[in-house]
Amino acid sequence: MANVLLNPCQTCTTFVVLKKHKFHRHSHVSGSRTRLECKNINRTSSFNYKSSAGVPLHELPWASFDQYIEDKGRVIRSIFPQKSTSQQLNEEEWIVTMTPIEALFLKCEPVVHITAKCISEADDYPHEIPSHITKFLKVHITRVEFPDLNADYLPPDFNINAKGALYLERQGRHKWMKNQLDIS
């Protein structure tokens, strides 16, 4: 009996066809093998994650949350760990090299491309954000790269799409810093 180990990202698999001998009912591999190749094997998998959280926040009169989220670079640096490095490309775009990820014998440092935009017009709010919110930070991960990882370990159509929002919801004397995240 043979064992077959398929890499989920490989696009070509070779199969050996077993021929039946005339005198036996059992299958065996004959001297001349017939080979079949499957050129396009589509193995797809998907992942979807949604999260919403709220944390109580004490807002100081001289340091408002709305002013804080306008400093997008500061918010990006606070979202990602200290060991990661961020590089601002322009007013709304960053490239973040994240801390290394290790799995089995592989190690890589993902590179994330992020756009962050501060929105204060209620007409531009997504339906998840209440219209009474004065300002929110919209974050979108546009691309994820794994430069240290061999291309054979990633499917050619690999894509991560992440969108999020960060805002302050005021309910009387109570204030909640809320975030929403949708990864697919």
pLDDT at residue 115, rounded to an integer: 92
Domains and CATH numbers, the chain: 49-183 (3.30.530)
Cα 20 to Cα 22: distance, rounded to the nearest angstrom: 6
Q: What is the pTM of this model?
A: 0.68
Residues pairing with 143 in the sheet: 113
Residues in the chain: 184
Closest C-alpha among 41, 39, 37, 35 to residue 8: 41
Is residue 168 within 8 A of residue 70, CB to CB? The reply is no
pLDDT tens-digit series, residues 157-181: 778 888 999 888 888 888 888 888 8
